[in-house]
Amino acid sequence: MQKKILRIATRKSPLALQQTKYVQKKILSLYPNLDIKIIPIVTHGDHILNKSLSKISGKGLFIKELEFALLENKADIAIHSMKDLPVNITKELCLISICKRGNALDSMVSNHYASINQLPKGAIVGTSSLRRQCQLITYRPDLIVSPLRGNVETRIAKLDEGKYDAIILATEGLNRLCLKNRITQIIPAELSLPSCGQGAIGIQSRSHDKKVLFFLSKLNHFNTFIEVKAERAFCKKLESGCQIPIGSYAILKKKKIWLRGLVGSPDGAVILKGERFGWYNTAEEMGYSLAKELLNNGAKKILDNFYIKKPYCI
Question: Beta 256-264 vs 246-253: how paired, if at all?
Answer: antiparallel
Helix (H/G/I), strand (E/B), else coil: 271: strand
Q: Measured between alpha carbons, how far is 99 from 176 in angstroms, rounded to an integer?
A: 14
Find the DSSP H helices in 56-124.
64-71
Cβ atoms of 223 and 254 closer than 8 Å: no
The C-alpha angle with vertex 284 and arms to 20 and 11, in degrees rounded to 5, equals: 20
Asked if residue 254 lies in contact with residue 280, where contact means CB atoms within 8 angstroms, the answer is no
CA dihedral of 292, 280, 59, 217, whole degrees rounded to 10: -150
Share in percent of the chain as helix, strand, coil (round to 5):
40, 25, 35
- For the beta carbon of residue 311, count every other beta carbon within 10 angstroms: 8
- Longest CA span, the chain: 67
- Identify the active-site residue in 84, 142, 209, 304: 84
Residue 148 one-letter amino acid: L
Q: Contact 284/271 with Cβ under 8 angstroms?
A: no
For 210, residues 6+ apart whose C-beta sits below 8 A from its C-beta are none
> Which residues pair with residue 279 across a beta bridge?
256
Is 84 assigned a catalytic role?
A: yes
Phi, psi torsion values for 73, nearest 5 degrees: 60, 35
Question: d(Cα 75, Cα 288) in Å, to the nearest integer?
Answer: 33
State CA 218 to chain mean position distance: 22
CA–CA separation, 140 vs 55, rounded Å?
24
Which residues are marked as active site?
Answer: 84
